[in-house]
Structure formats: C-alpha cells, structure tokens
Copies of this chain bind each other. A is one copy, B any other.
C-alpha cells in the first residue's frame, strides 16, 4: 500500500473511533511513536507495537472522548499528515474532570506499507 492508501485506512478507522483497529491494520511491529510533550511521565517516545498498544489503552482508559473530528490524510512522499480535533474529558491527571477541546496534527511515515513512525504536534498547558 502507498502512504496515501495507508493514510486513508488509518483515517477511516480513527473516524469510527477505532484507534486500536487503526494500530492493528496500519502499524509496523517496530513503530516509533513520538509525543510533542511528555504527557504520561514515561517519556515522549514509545517503541514497538506492544508498547504503543499499551499507550493507546492507557489513554482510552483515562479519557472520555465526546467527539473526535479527523481531517486528511494529506500526503507528502512516504509521509502523510492527519488533523485531530478532540472534545475530551480526562478522568486522571492534572486535567481530571475538565472537559476541553484540543487540536493536534499527526505526521506519519510509511515503510513497506505500514506506519513506521508517528509524530504528534500539539501544545498543552
């Protein structure tokens, strides 16, 4: 699959709120996932599909997502960008109980038909 085909699949699943399905369908075993900030206290970089699955499960367990608008994919060579507009209430951490909107951009690098790297662009607090 081309980068844009991978992006189309990823966006389709994210629009359904199926973030775990997106991992299983689109991600390489050696995925590297990089946050803009250290949100969890466990570092900004997560390596390997198992660890990214854990990160996703942890995020889902501690955030109630009221809506998530997803834009894209926007391709550029072997990469594509996706925009996220989240309406969310965290149940843990410094923002617990506070409903807020957050926009971010993900930039994904595709290798051999799978997402090998994802980088999230945002600013919090």
Contacts and interface: CB of A to CB of B under 8 A. Distances in A.
B74 A105 contact: yes
Nearest to A34: B76
Nearest to A105: B81
A65 to B, nearest CB: 19
B74 A123 contact: yes
Contact of A36 (B74, B122, B123): B74
A39 to B, nearest CB: 13
Interface residues of A, number: 23
Nearest to A104: B74
Contacts of A75: 36, 121-123
A107 B107 contact: yes
A71 interface: yes
Interface of A: 4, 34, 36, 71-77, 79-81, 83, 103-105, 107, 119-123
